[in-house]
Amino acid sequence: MSIKRVTPAELTWVNQQYEHIGFQPSTLDNEIIAIVMSQDDDAGVGRLVKLNDHEAELGGIYILNEFRGQSLAHEIVAFLVEESKRLGLETVYCIPFEELQHFYKKFGFHEFDVSAPTVEPKILAKYHWCLERYDKKVLLLKLNHG
């Protein structure tokens, strides 16, 4: 298992994966995108989208079917959480499906009052977009550094 940061040449592959599962496409403008590899194969992807100087959204975590069960999602989330610390971000949001709540709690993510006035407007808009788009229930979780 290894993790690499996405280059412009790999962005097409990333967005093909996201299109396949109905996730929003990525750009490299304000994102750190990582690919997790199993041996020499691209096995999954995840991203950290910078919302402003202090906040980001961790998301787009997707492991290809043939590579599931290898703890690759854990590896990519751990990598992106470390990247958020390295960048000095104070808050990282995550909008997982409800059944993944316990997985994200292992990294320190927790539920909070989404009606709080301090919630970043972009993340709130995306949360509402997800509520409307997906049949499964989604949660808005937060990780605070420091």
For the chain, what are the domain ranges?
Answer: 2-144
Task: Describe the strand order of the beta sheet including 41-50 as a list of residue ranges.
Answer: 2-5, 31-38, 41-50, 55-63, 91-94, 141-144, 110-111
pTM of the model: 0.93
Q: What pLDDT is recorded for position 117?
A: 82
Q: What pLDDT is recorded for position 146?
A: 62
Residue labelled with tokens 């992106």: 80
Q: Which residues of the chain have pLDDT under 70?
A: 146
Buried b (16+ CB within 10 A) or exposed e, 88-108: ebebbbbbbeeebbeebeebe
Tell me how far CA of residue 59 lies from CA of 15, 40, 64, 117, in angstroms.
Answer: 13, 23, 15, 22
Q: What pLDDT is recorded for position 113?
A: 85
73, containing H or E segment: helix 72-86
Main-chain dihedrals φ then ψ at residue 2, nearest 5 degrees:
-150, 165
Main-chain dihedrals φ then ψ at residue 89, nearest 5 degrees:
-70, 140
Fold of 2-144: Aminopeptidase (3.40.630)
